[in-house]
Amino acid sequence: MTDPLDLVFAALADPTRRAILAMLLEDDMAVTDVAEPFEMSLAAISKHLNILSRAGLISQERRGRVKWCKLEPGALKAASVWMQGFGQFEPVNLDAFERFLKAELNEEPYE
């Protein structure tokens, strides 16, 4: 998967990654603070953060000993522009969009 838009939608397909993005809307956060509300290992959170980084949705930088995450909304803008090409519609329900994509890819029946 090398198309930037493919990377964005693949990253958005996971509810944990969407929750991380929502958290980063407020402010930059240390990786440990991002991990705090989730019941998973720091290594698992780091994998999610790497996927978000590869998609261009967040950036990560070291500040001293702490790794920080910052929302990069530019990648979301490209996805939004692509979706607007299908006409004006209500705000996208990403959970429903994820179910639709899985159904289209024959991964599970459409609910």
Residue 111 in any domain: the answer is no
Residue 100 in any domain: the answer is no
Residue 38 in any domain: the answer is yes
Q: What is the domain extent for residue 29?
A: 4-87
The 3-class SS string of the chain reads CCCHHHHHHHHHCCHHHHHHHHHHCCCCEEHHHHHCCCCCCHHHHHHHHHHHHHCCCEEEEEECCEEEEEECCHHHHHHHHHHHCCCCCCCCCHHHHHHHHHHHCCCCCCC
- Please report the pLDDT score of residue 77 as a whole number: 85
- Please report the pLDDT score of residue 103 as a whole number: 75
Residue 44 in any domain: the answer is yes
Q: Residue 83 maps to which CATH number?
A: 1.10.10.10
- Please report the pLDDT score of residue 69 as a whole number: 97
Q: Which of 1, 82, 38 is nearest to 11 (CA)?
A: 1
Residue 102 in any domain: the answer is no
Q: Which of 61, 70, 7, 9 is nearest to 34 (CA)?
A: 70
Number of structural domains the chain divides into: 1
Residue 104 in any domain: the answer is no
Question: In tens digits, what is the pLDDT along the chain, a chain of 111 residues?
Answer: 578 889 999 999 999 999 999 999 989 999 999 999 999 999 999 999 999 999 999 999 999 999 999 999 888 888 888 888 776 656 667 777 777 767 777 654 444
